Amino acid sequence: MAHALGALASVSPSVGPNESLRKTGLKVQNNLSFDNKLWIPLSSVNLKSSHSARKCQCKVVSMSVQQTIRSKVPVQPLELENAKEPPLNLHKPKEPYTATIVSVERLVGPNAPGETCHVVIDHGGNVPYWEGQSYGVIPPGENPKKPGSPHNVRLYSIASTRYGDSFDGKTASLCVRRAVYYDPETGKEDPSKKGVCSNFLCDSKPGDKIKITGPSGKIMLLPEDDPNATHIMIATGTGVAPFRGYLRRMFMEAVPTYKFGGLAWLFLGVANSDSLLYDDEFNNYLKDYPDNFRYDKALSREQKNKSGGKMYVQDKIEEYSDEIFKLLDGGAHIYFCGLKGMMPGIQDTLKRVAEQRGESWDAKLSQLKKNKQWHVEVY
């Protein structure tokens, strides 16, 4: 028994996928495997059964146990890595692809203002995409402004990698906030003005059909020419979607041709703790890859900025501005995704910081764009 415990303390075991993977249908095991031998978890051993066991217990406590890192998940088909250019507009609005809803899951807690859902769509491998691209969705029904015509296409950033949440290249996931309208006078919800597409998606059931177009977009593609690059990601709300895809590719999936060794730094701005999206996944990356991932949250209804006002994502950027500017000077990529209202405050902050550093923000921004370090997708 002492030998087994010694082995536990001296090696870094590969354990099964974490809780966030349970939803994908993968089996999670509690046992550890070393060289094809099965070891029972330490928690199931009765360490109080004998004097020798007590000695053994003391021995284990004094050892330095290496942190266990979750195994990366195998993905398929690896042919999805072969294309030199991203797929673009494989399905146009006049000839959309009819896909199938796999699942719809509420992402936020009871105290979140509004509802945000994670929608998994089965495209059967017929609408491939790259991380950072978008799908168009055509909700059922007719366009009220053009009777007899279908609704206009609504674009949604894809929240999964090209392999999807089931790691088989056949699904895509969307992060959708249900759009509702409240009458400013009565304070009551007016269903006639609700968002047609977001409500269709959040109300969908497994097996429902959905018409999709695309994929589209190149500005938010993840540059992979340097696997040791720095990527600074700034999101508000559902703008975290493309970044979830990036991070799963970097830290969750075993992609033979892409082994990330750089720094990924995520800033996420939401209203409160209940509004955090994919928080468990991000926290797991923090535990497993502390040298490669940083995660900062701006909770506007729970945190205060240095002036005592609400903490918005631009306040977090200002907090780390010296570091961010140094990383940008070193070639880091910076990405912004979310509501377009986020950008003026962020731009003002960056301009103020640049001036404090004796730099011209306009010149710096121009250089970042020229170097293809600046990526913005707002809606």
Residues of the binding site: 157, 177, 238, 300-301, 310, 338-339, 377
Binding residue ranges for NADP(+):
157, 177, 238, 300-301, 310, 338-339, 377
One-letter identity of residue 162: R
d(CA 100, CA 133): 19
Among candidate residues 175, 197, 202, 337, the one labeled active-site is 337
- CA 2/CA 241 separation, integer angstroms: 47
In angstroms, rounded to a whole number, what is the distance separating the alpha carbons of residues 342 and 196?
24
Catalytic: 337?
A: yes
Q: Is 134 a catalytic residue?
A: no
The catalytic position among 156, 246, 278, 335 is 156
Residue 157 bears catalytic tag: yes
Closest CA to 246 of 288, 280, 285, 198: 285
Cα first-last separation, the chain: 60
Give the integer Cα–Cα distance in Å for 175 and 275. Answer: 13
**What token pair was written down for 104?**
């719809």
Residue 166 has φ and ψ, to the nearest 5°, of -100, 5
Query: Token digits for 71?
Result: 């195994």
156 counts as catalytic: yes
What is the rounded CA–CA span in Å between residue 240 and residue 269? Answer: 9
Short-list 332, 319, 321, 338, CA closest to 367: 332
Candidate list 285, 289, 335, 377, residue with the active-site label: 377
Alpha carbon distances (Å) from 302 to 108, 111, 305, 309: 16, 12, 10, 11
C-alpha 161 chain-centroid distance: 9
Specify whether the CB–CB gap between 325 and 361 falls below 8 A.
no
In the residue annotation, 377 being an active-site residue is answered as yes
CB 235 within 8 A of CB 262: no
Annotated catalytic residue within 157, 173, 204, 275: 157
Q: Which residues have a catalytic role annotated?
A: 156-157, 337, 377, 379
